[in-house]
Amino acid sequence: MSAVLRVPTVLRSAVGGKSEIAVDGATVGEVLQQLTNVYPAIKGQLLNDDGSLHRFLNVYVNDDDVRYLGGVEAAIRPDDEITLLPAVAGGAW
């Protein structure tokens, strides 16, 4: 069985409007690489050129922040729920 990747509204246009995508991979990095192979338009919003997570992207596996689980090396198991959550930044006061 595959893990489920939840895609927020702001990123759905880059993945054909899908809110959930079944993904396979042993790590967060493998899952995101698979996603960017299928949907290349989303790569710049997820990963830096060196393969690390974009600094304005929060990724959660079963509600746990992957930055505390090993980043792109965080393990993924079947039935895990992976949530992408872009940070909101910028603006002027």
Say yes or no to pLDDT of 80 above 80.
yes
Residue 52 lies in a domain: yes
Number of domains in the chain: 1
Say yes or no to pLDDT of 1 above 80.
no
Output the domain CATH number for residue 9.
Answer: 3.10.20.30
On the 0-12 / 13-18 / 19+ scale of CB atoms within 10 A, 9 is exposed
pTM tops 0.95 = no
The pairing of strands 3-6 and 81-86 is parallel
Say yes or no to pLDDT of 67 above 90.
yes
Q: Predicted confidence band at 27 (pLDDT cuts at 50, 70, 90)?
A: very high
Q: Predicted confidence band at 55 (pLDDT cuts at 50, 70, 90)?
A: confident
Residue 69 lies in a domain: yes
Domain extent for 33: 3-86
Q: Predicted confidence band at 88 (pLDDT cuts at 50, 70, 90)?
A: confident
Asked whether the beta carbons of 41 and 18 are under 8 A apart, the reply is no
Asked whether the beta carbons of 80 and 51 are under 8 A apart, the reply is no
Residue partners of 20: CB distance under 8 A and separation at least 6: 4, 5, 6, 7
Mean pLDDT on 56-73? 94
Residue 14 lies in a domain: yes
